[in-house]
Structure 1
Amino acid sequence: MKTSRRTFLHKTTQSGLALLSTGSLATEAVLHSKSTDTPLLHDFTAQAPLKPDHVVRSLPENMVWGYFGADVPPVYKVKDGDVVEIQTVNPSGVSRTNPEEFYTKNNLPLDQHAQEVIAIMKNVKPEPSGIRGHMLTGPVYIDGAQPGDSLEIRILDLTFPAGFGVNSVWPGGGGIPDEVKTRETFVYRYDAKRKTGSLKEGVDIPLKPFMGVMALSPPADMGRQSSIPPGFFGGNLDIKHLVKGTTLHLPVSVPGGLFTTGDGHGAQGNGEVSGVAIETAINLTVKFIVHKGKTLKQPRAETPTHFIAVGLDKDLNKAMKNALSEACAFIKDELGFTFNEALSIASTGVDFEVSQVVDQTLGVHAMIPKSIFTKKKFEYWS
C-alpha cells in the first residue's frame, strides 16, 4: 500500500476506534419514539445509546424541500470531529393539503413524530423556482471544511422514530413505467422482535436502514440542484450498503461543506425498481471528519469488508463505465497497482451492482473486497 493511503487510514481511524471501544453504540436498527403510544423497536444489546455532541431536530425551520445549493443558509454549525444526530422525516404517502388523512386512513398513531411530519408538510415551502425533490434536514455547516477538501461521514447509528415505512407504485414510475396501470401505496409495518417490515402476512423484508440522500452542496456556480438526481457531491445515491458502521467520502465544494440528508430507507433492493424503497423516517448519527487537501472527483465509500467506487450517468451503460473507471483509479492510486493490473483485478474480483435506475441520473457501484488484497492490512474504525 502507498504511504499516502496508510497515513490517510491512520488519521481517519484513531478517534473512531476510541469511540467504539466504549461500547456505547446500539447495534442494528432501533426504533425509538419520543412518545409512549408507538411500539418500540428496542435495542437488544443493553448498551447505552450514543450521546451525540449535537442534535438537529426534524422541525420545519430545519428542513429544506428538495434541493441543495451554496446559497442555502445552514441551520446548524458543528466542528470537525463532532458527532451529530440529524433527525429526518420521510413523508411518502402524506399529502400537503391533508397530511392527517394518511395516518387515520392507515390506522397509524398521530403521535409526536406524526405531528412533526404534519407540521413540516404544512409549513415548509417548496423551492420557489419549481425544483422538486425530497424533504431534507439541513444543511449543517462543518467548521474547517473548504473547497478542495473531502468530508468523511462515519455512519454511527440509524434509528427509526416511527414503526412503519411506505412503498409505492405508480404509472410512469419505476423501472417498467409503461407496465404500471394504477397507483398504489403499501404500508410496511415493522416487527420489533424480528426486525422486519411486513407488506402483508407472509411477506417479511429484513430491515437494513440507510439514508438514500446524503449530500454536500454543489459549487456556487451550479446554483440550486434538485435532490432527485445524484451527483459528484453525493445526494440521492441510494446505495443500500451505506448502513450503520460504514463510511461515505464526499468532495467539499463550498465553505463548510453544507451537509444535507433525508430520504431514509428501511430496506431496498439494488435497483430500487418500483421507484422508491421502504421510505421511512430515520434519525442519523454521524461523525464528520475533514480531510484537508484530499480532493475527490466522485463519492467513495467504505465498509468493514469493501471499498465502494461510484459511477453516475443518465445512461446506465455510461454509469457502468464510470464505476469501472473509478474502481480502477482507486485500485491503482490508493492501493499501488498499475492500471492494467487494476483492470484485471476489477474483472476477476470486483462486483458491479446497479444502485438505482429511477433517479434520472442512474447509479452503478463497484464492490471492491478488501479480502483479495492478502498482503495489505486495512485499518477501519468499525
Structure 2
Amino acid sequence: MTHHILKATKKTVHLGGFSQQLEPALTVDSGDTVDVETYTGYYIYDKAPSEFLTPEFIDICENLAPERKVGVGPHLLTGPIYIRGAEAGDVLEVKLKAIKPSLPVGFNAIRTGWGVLPHQFTQPALRFIPLDLENNITEFPTGSNIKIPLKPFFGILGVATPETSRNSIPPGCYGGNIDNRELQIDSRVFLPIFVAGGLFSIGDGHSAQGDGEVNVTAIETSMNGTIELKIRKDLQLTTPIAETPTDIITMGFGQTLDEALEFAVKNMINFLERFANLSPEDAYVLCSISVNFRITQVVNSPQKGVHGMLPKSIFTKQISL
C-alpha cells in the first residue's frame, strides 16, 4: 500500500459541487492512504483575518480556473481522487485516520433566507471564531467563559455521479454534504460508487457543530486529515452508511424531517436484516427499543438529514461492515 500527500492548490480543489468531468487531483490504489489538505471560506476570504489566510488559499480564491467551478454550492473541496479498479456498483470505504484543524480560526455565518429561523434572523452575519488548538477548545462568545470542546470532522465526503454537475449543498445517495458530527477519527464511511474510479472528494471541515446545524453553519474550519480508501466489492449499497468505534450509523435524507426519519429507519431495518439476520419485524422493534435516531442537519436545502445510531455493544457477536 502507498501513502500519498494531497495538498490543496488551485489545481487540486474544485468549487461548488461534484462532477465526473473533473480531472482527478490524485490517482490511488485500493488500500492506499492519503494525507489530505482542505480549505474553507472561498466566498468570505476577503473579509477574513490574516490568521485565516495562507498564500495557497489566497491563490485558490483569486485564480481558480473556471473548469474547477462545477456547481453553485459554497464548498471548496479537495479532489476528486480516482481509485483504480473502482466500478459502478462497488462501495468505497473511507476510513478517517486523522482529522485536525490547520488554522487557529474558523467562521460561522448566518445567511439571509437560510437556517431554521430565517424570518427571525433576517440579516447576514459573519463571525470569525478563534480556536485554541493546544487545549482543543474554543470560547464563544469571546469573554463569556463558555468553553466548547473541539470535535473536528469533515462535513463533506462524497463521490461523483453520472450527472455533469451536482450542487454540493444537498446530501444524497452519493454522500456529499452529510454534516454528521459523529464521523470523527476512527470512523468508516461507506459510499455507493456510481462512476469509474469513484472520484471521491472531501472538505467542509467543522471544528464543532451541534446536531441540526440550525443557523446554516458550524465552526467552518480549514482541515487536514489522513484517510484510507478501499474498494469493497463484497458490499452493495444504495445509500451511505457509517461505522464508528461504538455505533453503526444509517442515514436518511428527505425534503422533510419526517421523510428523512422514515428513510433512516428503513435503512437501519435493511442493515439489521442483512448483517444481524433479523426479520423485518424484529428489526423494526429493535429500532424502537435500542436505536437512537437524531437530527443530522436541517439546513442543506432541499435535503434534511436524520441518522440512526445502533450501539454495537448490544451484540454478543461482533457486528461490522
TM-score normalised by L of structure 2: 0.94
Whether the aligned pair in 2 keeps the contact of 1:85 and 1:286 (CA below 8 Å) is yes
Partner-residue secondary structure (3-state), 1:60: coil
Whether the aligned pair in 1 keeps the contact of 2:43 and 2:74 (CA below 8 Å) is no
CA pair 155-130 structure 1, distance change in 2 beyond 3 A: closer
Cα deviation 1:191-215 (Å, max 9, x = unaligned) = 1342112231212211000000000
Partner-residue secondary structure (3-state), 2:83: strand
For 2:116 and 2:78, the matched residues in 1 are separated by 28
Partner residue, 1:25 = none
For 1:181 and 1:139, the matched residues in 2 are separated by 36
- 1:266 CA displacement: 0.4
Partner residue, 1:251 = 192
Partner residue, 2:54 = 114
Select the structure of larger CA radius of gyration. 1
Please point out which of 228, 235, 238 is paired with 2:179: 238
Report whether the alignment pairs 1:154 with 2:119: no
Whether the aligned pair in 2 keeps the contact of 1:324 and 1:346 (CA below 8 Å) is yes
For 1:129 and 1:376, the matched residues in 2 are separated by 45
- 1:188 CA displacement: 1.6
CA pair 249-346 structure 1, distance change in 2 beyond 3 A: same
Whether the aligned pair in 1 keeps the contact of 2:10 and 2:65 (CA below 8 Å) is no
- 1:69 CA displacement: 1.6
Partner-residue secondary structure (3-state), 1:117: helix
Matched residue type, 2:181? K
For 2:267 and 2:59, the matched residues in 1 are separated by 42
For 2:17 and 2:51, the matched residues in 1 are separated by 30
Query: What pairs with 1:137-216 in structure 2 (closer than 5 Å)?
Result: 137-199=78-140, 200-201=142-143, 202-216=145-159
Partner residue, 1:84 = 34
Matched residue type, 1:117? F
Partner residue, 1:290 = 231
CA pair 378-330 structure 1, distance change in 2 beyond 3 A: closer
- 1:171 CA displacement: 2.7
Partner residue, 1:320 = 261
CA pair 324-335 structure 1, distance change in 2 beyond 3 A: same
- Give aligned-pair identity as a percent: 33
Cα deviation 1:128-180 (Å, max 9, x = unaligned) = 67633311111000111111110110000012210111112233121111110
Partner residue, 2:18 = 68
Partner residue, 1:12 = none
Partner residue, 2:310 = 368
Whether the aligned pair in 2 keeps the contact of 1:126 and 1:132 (CA below 8 Å) is no
Matched residue type, 1:330? F
Partner-residue secondary structure (3-state), 1:191: coil
Cα deviation 1:307-332 (Å, max 9, x = unaligned) = 00000111221111000100111111
Whether the aligned pair in 1 keeps the contact of 2:18 and 2:71 (CA below 8 Å) is no
Unaligned 5+ residue runs, structure 1?
1-14, 16-51
Please point out which of 278, 302, 317 is paired with 1:337: 278
CA pair 262-157 structure 1, distance change in 2 beyond 3 A: same
- 1:247 CA displacement: 0.5
For 1:66 and 1:92, the matched residues in 2 are separated by 10
Matched residue type, 1:66? G
CA pair 226-53 structure 1, distance change in 2 beyond 3 A: same
Whether the aligned pair in 1 keeps the contact of 2:97 and 2:186 (CA below 8 Å) is yes
TM-score normalised by L of structure 1: 0.79
Cα deviation 1:99-141 (Å, max 9, x = unaligned) = 3x422xxxx337xx52222111101146667633311111000
- 1:183 CA displacement: 2.0
Matched residue type, 2:28? V
Partner-residue secondary structure (3-state), 1:177: coil
CA pair 126-269 structure 1, distance change in 2 beyond 3 A: farther
Aligned length: 317
Whether the aligned pair in 2 keeps the contact of 1:354 and 1:363 (CA below 8 Å) is yes
Matched residue type, 2:16? G
Whether the aligned pair in 2 keeps the contact of 1:306 and 1:370 (CA below 8 Å) is yes
Which protein has the bigger strand share?
Answer: 2
Partner residue, 1:102 = 48
Whether the aligned pair in 2 keeps the contact of 1:65 and 1:136 (CA below 8 Å) is yes
For 1:137 and 1:69, the matched residues in 2 are separated by 13
For 1:192 and 1:132, the matched residues in 2 are separated by 29
Partner-residue secondary structure (3-state), 2:318: coil
For 2:257 and 2:319, the matched residues in 1 are separated by 31
For 2:150 and 2:66, the matched residues in 1 are separated by 31
Whether the aligned pair in 2 keeps the contact of 1:197 and 1:206 (CA below 8 Å) is yes
For 1:330 and 1:130, the matched residues in 2 are separated by 33
